[in-house]
Chain A
């Protein structure tokens, strides 16, 4: 039995080694669970939207509820101009949510507990939003770094601060998701280990902690997907409706 709490995060290869030049692109357990999540999303939404009856089935209800949830989130935070980006934010939210939720099943692998996965998602959002901002406003987008009503003497400092806070977006976005998922899963594993080592006498307390933590982790899994999507909306809002 693996008692190391970090053992669950190990990436290992499944099947043969595939190399593209110097880069290792073999199929790993991380790729497997990304694939499973994507297929599960396609499955739910294809079946859910097949028959659109007035009395919805459970799957249809799920699909419709998540549609309205994301649609309302976008219109609340980024306004009507963000409607064309619905498909992107919806798939982002669903992917992160399904990856987090699949990680809650025992013996599975949590894709989002790896910083490289979340960082790639975040950096693509960051680059995409910056490009959208420059397309919509041209060089006027740089006004984002110069807030109005600041004395000229303070301006250089403020501009540096604004640039730092703009550049910190992908880092805070990725670190938040990764740290929450990894910390939660490690904690669950540690408390699980206590149950075994304390045995039948003292094991009941950590066992009850584990049960409570599982509930908390399911909440965090949903919440982090929500926060990830809503922050994308906020960044998109900054790019689309430039004002200060």
Chain B
């Protein structure tokens, strides 16, 4: 391959790159990623809520109550989080 043909090819390639967006979004991968994100976050919120309730129960000695309350707060937080991500996706 001579040097000239390479140069013209480089020019053409550069023009092509300028015309269209450099990289297209890989939509399937990122939506699969979002699905993974949501499923674990839902569980993690409940877990964190329960752990906080457990620790507070131990420090205040109010055995079953705070863990119950914080468990449900964790569930609410998880569900709200899923709603938020769904709203973000629709934009």
Q: Chain A: residues with CB nearer than 8 A to chain B?
A: 54-55, 68, 72, 157, 160-162, 164-165, 167-169, 171-172, 175-176, 179-180, 223-224, 226-227, 230-231
Contact = CB atoms under 8 A, between A and B. Distances in A.
A157 B32 CA distance: 31
A171 B44 contact: yes
Interface of B: 6, 10, 22-23, 29-30, 32-33, 36-37, 40-41, 43-45, 47-49, 52, 70, 73-74, 76-77, 80-81
A243 to B, nearest CB: 14
Contact of B40 (A157, A164, A172, A226): A172
Interface centre among A157, A224, A226 (most CB of B within 10 A): A226
A168 B48 contact: yes
B48 A231 contact: no
B6 to A, nearest CB: 8
A168 B76 CA distance: 13
Nearest to A175: B40
Given A161-B76, A223-B29, A176 B47 contact: no
Contacts of B49: 164
A178 to B, nearest CB: 10
18 contacts: A157-B73, A157-B76, A161-B80, A164-B70, A164-B73, A164-B77, A165-B80, A167-B48, A168-B44, A168-B48, A168-B77, A169-B44, A175-B43, A175-B44, A226-B29, A227-B33, A230-B30, A231-B37
Contacts of B73: 157, 160-161, 164
B15 to A, nearest CB: 16
A168 B41 contact: yes
Contacts of B23: 68, 72
Contacts of B44: 168-169, 171-172, 175
Nearest to A179: B40
Contacts of B47: 168, 171
